[in-house]
Amino acid sequence: MPPNPDHFVLLPAFAATEGRPATLGVLGGGQLGFMFVQAAQRMGYRTAVLDPDANSPAGLVSHHHFQAGYDDAQALAAMSRVCDAVTTEFENVPAHTLETLAKTTPVSPQAHAVAVAQDRVVEKAHFQASAASSGVGPVPYAVLTTDSDLARVPDALFPAILKTARMGYDGKGQLGVASAEALASAWQALQQVPCVLEKRMPLIAECSVLVARSRQGDCVNLPVQLNTHVEGILARTEVFDGNLAPDLTARAVDAAKKIARELGYVGVLCVEFFVVTGDDGKPGLVVNEIAPRPHNSGHYSIEACDVSQFSLQVRTLAGLPLVQPRLLAPAVMLNLLGDIWFNSGELRTPEWDQVLALPGVHLHLYGKLEARKGRKMGHITITATRIEDARGVAQEVQSILGLWH
Q: Please state the φ and ψ torsions of residue 250, each to the nearest 5 degrees.
A: -65, -40
Report if residue 203 touches ligand ADP, rule: CB under 6 A.
yes
Residues in contact with ligand ADP, counted by CB under 6 A, come to a total of 18
Binding mask 288-307 for ligand ADP (x = CB under 6 A): xx------------------
Report if residue 284 touches ligand ADP, rule: CB under 6 A.
no
Binding mask 215-254 for ligand ADP (x = CB under 6 A): --------------x--x----------------------
> From the list 50, 113, 161, 332, which residue makes contact with ligand ADP (rule: CB under 6 A)?
161
> Shortest approach of ligand ADP to residue 70 CB, angstroms?
19
> From the list 59, 168, 294, 350, which residue makes contact with ligand ADP (rule: CB under 6 A)?
168
Report if residue 91 touches ligand ADP, rule: CB under 6 A.
no
249-278 binders of ligand ADP (CB under 6 A): 272
In terms of CB distance, is 198 or 303 closer to ligand ADP? 198
Report if residue 89 touches ligand ADP, rule: CB under 6 A.
no
Cα dihedral 290/42/77/110 (nearest 10)? -20
Distance CA 211, CA 260 (A): 8
Q: Residue length, the chain? A: 405
Distance CA 66, CA 203 (A): 43
Report if residue 316 touches ligand ADP, rule: CB under 6 A.
no
Binding mask 103-142 for ligand ADP (x = CB under 6 A): ------------------------------------x---
Binding mask 10-39 for ligand ADP (x = CB under 6 A): ------------------------------
Q: In what order do the strands lie in the sheet with 64-66?
A: 64-66, 46-50, 23-27, 85-88
> Shortest approach of ligand ADP to residue 169 CB, angstroms?
5
Report if residue 378 touches ligand ADP, rule: CB under 6 A.
no
169-198 binders of ligand ADP (CB under 6 A): 169-171, 198
> Shortest approach of ligand ADP to residue 62 CB, angstroms?
27
The interface region with ligand ADP, picked from 91-99, 164-172, 178-186, 300-308 by CB under 6 A, is 164-172
Report if residue 392 touches ligand ADP, rule: CB under 6 A.
no
> Shortest approach of ligand ADP to residue 9 CB, angstroms?
34
Binding positions for ligand ADP, rule: CB under 6 A: 139, 161, 163, 168-171, 198-201, 203, 206, 229, 232, 272, 288-289
